[in-house]
Amino acid sequence: MLAGKSLGLLSTISALALTLGSAYAQDAAAPEPETGIRDIVVTAQKRSENLQDVPISVTAVSGESLGAAQVTTLQALQGTIPNVQIDNFANTPQTAVFTVRGIGVIEPDPYAGNTVSIVVDGIPQFFSMGALLDLYDVDRIEVLRGPQGTLFGANTTGGVVNVVTAQPTGEFGGFVKSAYGNYDRFDLSGSIEAPLVKDLLSLKVAGIHTQRKGWVTNVVDGSDLGRKNLDAVRAYLRLAPDGSDFDATLQGEYVNARNGSPIVINGSYRGEAIFEEPGVDGMYPSPCISGGQCRAPKKYYGANNSVPDISNMDTYTGGLTINYRNTPIGDLTSITGYKKFKLVEYTDQDGTPEFKNDTYRRTRGWQFSQELRSNIAVNDDIDLLIGGFYLKTHYDHIQAYRLQFAAPGLLQINLQDQDNYSISGFAQSYWQVTDRLKLQAGIRYSHEKTESTPSLETSIGNPAGSNYTGIGNTVIGAFTTGGTESWDNVGWKLGADYDLGDRRLLYASWARGFKSGGFTGRVGVPADGSEPFDPETVDTFEVGVKADFLDRRLRTNLAIFYTNYRDLQVAQIYFDSTTSTQGNRILNAGKAEIKGFELETTAVPVEGMTLRASLAYLDAKYKTFAYIDPLSGAALDLQGYRLQNAPKWNASFGANFVVPLGNGAELVTDVNYAYTSSKYYTAILDTPRSKIQPTHLVDGTITYYPAGRAWSLGLWARNLLDSRYISTVYDSPGYGGIAGYAPPRQFGGTATFNF
């Protein structure tokens, strides 16, 4: 039904552009017929600049270069951008886990906040739920590494992922793209723009439908687990009077996701594993061994016999961007944003047909933001950017856990209700001291406030039932906790860059970032949420060089950094078997030290051949962390332990070939290899079970373009070698391990028509 309605809608509007392909570090698409490497214009400093002129470690991926590889989410960029990890939670995959240079909070509920900000068309996405965006009709993606608080505000201690969609141009045009692949995958996307009043008013609509079966076999009934079905539509109305300094764009989007429930594989010890109990033993092998790490089998199996196969999310967003240039107080920009969402999903967390451990969650939230800024040319040598920002968010959350592995009929219901407020003012100046030397200085004052009211009710009911409400149960414990707290912070950035000539830039900077404090929402005991966790701060020192050589046929960008990380926020999930209580808490570790580098290179040795390579190193360890085990109470010194989700190495290599076929037609082939070394995912103690093995992924495309490129036909494959590996796992005290499988090989064909 949903598919039928969406196909009709997309056909009517020629809808949309899903285009995001293989996330290659620079341009993976066919190069234009020009000499050298193409430039990409970015807005990493909230003004349009050539990527090579921006004194920040930033990777930009153009929409064109992503389109051919048939990638539909931000998560498809995993492994291809230096020192950036893009993951999800095994037990709630619509929630994003972004970690940049080892900085990130691995916690699915919204109370933990973000350390990497996802920004879409200038609007920050406060909630990590739904932040693994389904990408379509995208102009470019910019990934900024390091603290970006001066221009982007709090909760950017790790960096920023800036997504810019394809805006209206005032000209008629569009495209339709269809794709079919294994697992019965079918995508239809497109966009159409039509001027309503010439040189004044234009309307654009884009949309996507994507569906596929799951790739995990349910051993209970042989069905597929992990299906996906998503529809999205985005519309723009742009007012841009010809010859005027004024323009305004109103845009809105609706996303309807009707997916299968999360796939969870319980990875407890052999003999202890829930799915190896008497009567269930041998159903399928455990991916984990006693005292060792989890490894994916050749064939993916799971078991779900106790919860509905549902993970549904509805998201509404709206934005209004107004630009008024050449005013007496500079070039003015106003960005107003609103977002509302609802997530409902069930998760079978025991991996068996038994009623042992499953959850129901329902989360509703909204956010409103307003930014007003002015870019002022003080004189020929000094530019000044000043502005203010306001954000208000609210969410309420219900999560019911059936913990029958601990006691028959045991049910816990966690309620969360939280409001957040943020207001800030900022200024950033750029001084062209000489023709070659430029200095910059920025400062931002932020005031953050959180009001939180979490509660937990524990009851005993019918072990054979599926009661997630607690109605009719016997309540054996209940409490409400939380509070109100506010924080003030001043962050800054100081930097210098020097033009060496011949398109070569040398830069250095010192940036201080800030992430707000808060209250734990998923509580197990009152103490988990009665006191706030503190803000975290980072100081990052970075030097880098951006250089083109050989008449722009070789480009090399290098950044070297050192970060002093204080009061970092760490999530700890636990289960106390003595009280049959499940909970969570955000801890403030003492200090961490992070150092490393990112190297990205692009080369065009001959016409029609483009080579890409990247290499990143990361040494991220606790400097001081006096950790108290939540179950035993033992005090442990974790100095020297690695940070979560922080692999030491990642690298990629890609090649693109354009083969002329005569009469203007071309055959374009592209292949990309990505490597990520081992990492620890969620266990604070770096346990073997929480270790993710190294990954090797190969993607490839081959596309035929006729003269003029009015249409194209292509073949694509992701994970071409069908590597099987664990992508997510958490190992929590008293609770065992829960693992998630990475996607197997996916392949298919596409057809695109432009008009």
CATH number at residue 548: 2.40.170.20
Local structure of 61: helix, strand or coil: strand
More confident residue, 280 or 595: 595
pLDDT attached to residue 571 = 86
Contact at 8 Å (CB) between 707 and 664?
yes
N residues, the chain? 755
pLDDT at 701 > cutoff 70: yes
675 burial via Cβ count (<10 Å: 0-12, 13-18, 19+): middle
Which amino acid, one-letter code, is at 659?
A: V
β-sheet bridge partners, residue 84? 100
**Is 470 in contact with 456 (CB distance < 8 Å)?**
no
Contact by Cβ (8 Å): 656, 649? no
**What is the rounded (10 degree) CA torsion for 400, 403, 408, 411?**
-20
Cα angle vertex 139, ends 134, 141, to 5°?
A: 65
- Give per-residue pLDDT as tens, 390-432: 999 999 999 998 888 888 899 999 999 999 999 999 999 999 9
Rounded Cα distance between 241 and 210, Å, is 37
Which tens digit of pLDDT belongs to each residue from 67-114?
776 777 888 888 889 999 998 877 777 788 899 999 998 788 899 888
Residue 276 clears pLDDT 70, i.e. is over it:
no
| Res. 735 pLDDT band, cuts 50 70 90 | low
* pLDDT on residue 467: 81
* Helix, strand, or coil (residue 417): strand
Handedness of CA 37, 70, 115, 692 (dihedral sign): negative
Instruction: Report residue 468 as tokens.
Output: 């997630």
Mean pLDDT of 300-329: 91
CA–CA dist 192, 203 (Å, integer): 8
Adjacent-strand bridge partners of 94: none
Output the pLDDT for position 407: 87
pLDDT tens string 580-636:
777 888 999 999 999 999 999 999 999 999 999 999 999 999 999 998 887 778 889
> In one letter, which amino acid is 488?
D
Q: pLDDT band at 290, cuts 50/70/90? A: low
Q: Which two tokens stand for residue 134?
A: 């389904």
Position 268 scores a pLDDT of 61
Q: Is the pLDDT of residue 282 over 70?
A: no
Confidence bin at 349 (pLDDT 50/70/90): confident
Give the whole-number percent of the chain exceeding pLDDT 70: 91
pLDDT on residue 557 = 98
Contact 57, 114 (CB under 8 A): no
Q: Is pLDDT at 752 greater than 90 in this prediction?
A: yes
What is the maximum span of the chain, computed from C-alpha positions, in angstroms? 80
Cβ neighbours of residue 187 closer than 8 Å, sequence gap 6 or more:
18, 70, 72, 177, 178, 179, 180, 208, 209, 210, 211
Collapsing DSSP to helix, strand or coil, 85 comes out as: strand
What 3 state SS string does 676-724 have? ECCEECCCCCCCHHHEECCEEEEEEEEEEECHHHCEEEEEEEECCCCCC
Q: What share of the chain is helix, strand, coil (3-state, %, to 5)?
A: 5, 60, 35
The pLDDT of 473-485, averaged and rounded, is 95
Tally of CB atoms within 10 A around 410: 22
Helices within 48-193 (DSSP H only): 63-67, 149-152
Q: What is the mean pLDDT of residues 694-713?
A: 96
Map 156-211 to HEC letters.
CCCEEEEEEECCCCCCCEEEEEEEEECCCEEEEEEEEEEEEECCCEEEEEEEEEEE
**What is the C-alpha to C-alpha distance for residues 632 and 269, in angstroms, rounded to an integer?**
20
The residue-averaged pLDDT of 432-440 equals 97
What is the model's pLDDT at position 569?
93
Angle at CA of residue 58, ends 56 and 61, nearest 5°: 155
Instruction: Report the Cα 83 to chain-centroid distance in Å.
Output: 14
Instruction: Evaluate if residue 115 carries a pLDDT over 70.
Output: yes
- CA dist 471 and 404 (Å) reads 17
Query: From CA 88, how far away is CA 106, in angstroms rounded?
Result: 9
Please check the confidence at residue 9 and state whether its pLDDT lies above 60. no
Q: What is the pLDDT of residue 529?
A: 92
Give the domain extent around 686.
Answer: 2-754
Q: What is the token pair recorded at 149?
A: 């608080």
Amino acid residing at 146: G
Strands (E), 328-377: 330-348, 357-377
- The residues near 151 (Cβ < 8 Å, ≥ 6 apart) are 45, 46, 385, 426, 428, 442, 444
Check: CB of residue 123 under 8 Å from CB of residue 337.
yes
Convert the pLDDT of each residue in 681-699 to its tens digit: 877 888 888 889 999 999 9
Average pLDDT on 365-372 reads 98
pLDDT band at 13 (very low <50, low <70, confident <90, very high): very low
In one-letter notation, the amino acid at residue 660 is P
**Which comes out higher in pLDDT, residue 562 or 274?**
562
33 band by pLDDT with thresholds 50, 70 and 90: very low
The Cα 298–Cα 483 span in angstroms is 49
In this structure, the number of other CB atoms found within 10 A of the CB of residue 351 comes to: 30
**Helix H or strand E encompassing 469:** none
Write out pLDDT tens, residues 643-670.
999 999 999 999 999 999 989 999 999 9
Higher pLDDT, 278 or 249: 249
pLDDT band at 532, cuts 50/70/90?
A: very high
Half-sphere exposure of 241 (CA within 13 A, CB side): 8
In the block, residue with structure tokens 């992070």: 594
The structural domain count of the chain equals 1
Q: Which of 39, 34, 65, 37 is nearest to 52 (CA)?
A: 39
- Give whichever of 69-73, 121-125, 219-223 has the largest mean pLDDT: 121-125
Average of per-residue pLDDT values in the chain: 88
